[in-house]
Amino acid sequence: MGLQCGIVGLPNVGKSTLFNAISNNKAEAANFPFCTIEPNVGVISVPDPRLKILEGLVNPQKVVPTSIEFVDIAGLVKGASKGEGLGNQFLGNIRQVDAIVHVVRCFDNDNIVHVDGRVNPVADKEIIDTELQLKDLESVDKKIAKVEKAAKAGDAKLKKELSVLQTYKDALLSGKNARSVQMDEEDKKAIADLQLLTVKPVIYVTNVDEGSIHTGNKYVDQLKEAVKDENAEVVVISAAIESQIAELESLEDREVFLQEYGLTESGLNKLLRASYQLLDLITYFTAGEKEVRAWTIKRGWKAPQAAGVIHTDFEKGFIRAEVIKLSDYQHYKTEVACKEAGKMSVEGKEYVVADGDIMHFRFNV
C-alpha cells in the first residue's frame, strides 16, 4: 500500500533540512521563508533486519524493502486558511497525505531567523493547528448548508448526519482538532468526503540542537506537555545530525558516527518506527529465488486484503494463503523443510495476517 507522510511546519524550523537528510533528495534549504515552493517527494526505504535474515536463507536475485513517501510541503504562516503566503497550496498538498509530520523548532540559534522572531514550539503548533481548523470549519459549514434544509424537512438519515457535522463544528470552534472528536466508524462517514485536515494522525518532530539529542530540553518538555492529551507521537531529532549522517556513504561509517554521539539508531529510524506505530501498520514478506520483498499493510487485515497489495487480481481471485513464521523458517532453513515439518499453514479468507508472516498466495482469475 502506498503510504505518504507530509512534513509541515512554520518556515525556518528545519523541515527541508530534515527532508534532505532522510531522503537524500536536495530540496532547497535556505535561511528564508518559502524556500520550498513545490512539494518535494522522497521515497524512503524502511530498514528491517528481517529482510537480511531472509536474504541469507533464500539467496534471492534481489531484495526489495517496503517504503514510505515523505513530502516536504511549503511553509505556513498566519492567515494561510484565507490564502496568505502559500496557504491555499499548502492546504491542498496536505489534504492528500496519510499522516502529518509536524516539525517544530526546539533550538536556539540567532543565525537562523524564526518567522515570528522567537522560539516557542507550542505557539508554532497552535498557529498551524488554527489554520487547519479554520479550513476544516469552512468545509464543515459548506456541508451543513447543503444538508440542513433536507434534514429540517424530516429526512432521518440527514438529521443524524447534521448532528454529527454540528459536533465537529463545535469542536473546531472551540479550538480542537477533528481527530479529537469521539465518533464511531458509521458516524465518521458524514465527514469522509470532506478530507478534513485535522482528522489526520500527526507525529511531532522536535528539531533540537546536537547537545539536546539525548535528554531533550525545555522546548521539548513544553511541547510534550501541550500534546499529552492528543493521540500523537513525539520524536526528538536533530536535523543537523541527520544531515551529517546523510553525507556518509557506507553503513559502517554511519554506525561509527552514531556511536560517537552515543546513539543506537538514526532519527530517521525513530521517525519511521513512529509512523508505523501511529498508522497501525505491520509488514509481511514474500520470499522466492527471484526476490525477497517486504509489504506494508494495516494491522488486522485479512489474507485477501494483504494479497491485494501485491496485485488486485490476487485479492479478487484469492483461493488460499500458505504461511510460514520467520522463526520456523530460520530453524528449518528452507520452505520445503518447513512444509515437511508441518510448519507451513494453509489459511483461508478469514486469516488475519501477523507481523512478520512469510506468505505465498494461491489465486485464480
Q: What is the pLDDT of residue 26?
A: 44
Residues 6+ apart with CB under 8 A from 272: 44, 46, 47, 68
Most confident range, picked from 16-30, 66-80, 110-124, 243-257: 243-257
Could you say which DSSP state residue 111 is in?
T
**Whether domain 4-46+65-117+201-278 has CATH 3.40.50.300:** yes
39, pLDDT greater than 70? no
16 marked ligand binding residue = yes
What mean pLDDT do residues 140-158 have? Answer: 87
Could you give the CA distance from residue 65 to residue 276 in angstroms, rounded to a whole number? 14
Place of cell 472528536: 181
Residues of the chain with CATH 1.10.150.300: 129-198
pLDDT tens, 72-113?
A: 876 565 655 565 544 456 677 788 899 999 999 999 887 776
The pairing of beta strand 344-347 with beta strand 62-64: unpaired
15 marked ligand binding residue = yes
pLDDT tens, 200-232?
A: 999 999 999 999 999 999 999 999 999 987 888
Q: Which of 11, 13, 14, 1 is nearest to 69 (CA)?
A: 1
3-state DSSP assignment of residue 340: helix
**Terminal Cα distance for the chain, rounded:** 21
Q: Which of 138, 148, 203 is nearest to 168 (CA)?
A: 138
At 118, the amino acid letter reads R
Residues of the chain with CATH 3.10.20.30: 300-363
Query: Residue 285: which pLDDT band, with cuts at 50, 70 and 90?
Result: very high
Q: What is the pLDDT of residue 30?
A: 43
Query: Residue 327: which pLDDT band, with cuts at 50, 70 and 90?
Result: very high
Specify whether the CB–CB gap between 12 and 113 falls below 8 A. yes
Most confident range, picked from 8-17, 101-110, 282-291: 282-291
Could you give the CA distance from residue 361 to residue 363 in angstroms, rounded to a whole number? 6
Give 287's strand partners.
Answer: 292
Average the pLDDT over each of 157-171, 307-321, 333-347 and give the range with the smallest value: 157-171
Q: What is the pLDDT of residue 156?
A: 82
Cα three-residue angle 22-128-122, rounded to 5 degrees: 85
Q: What is the CATH number of domain 300-363?
A: 3.10.20.30
- Which fold does the domain 129-198 belong to in CATH? DNA polymerase; domain 1 (1.10.150)
Residues of the chain with CATH 3.40.50.300: 4-46+65-117+201-278
pTM for this structure? 0.82
293, pLDDT greater than 70? yes
Q: What is the pLDDT of residue 83?
A: 55
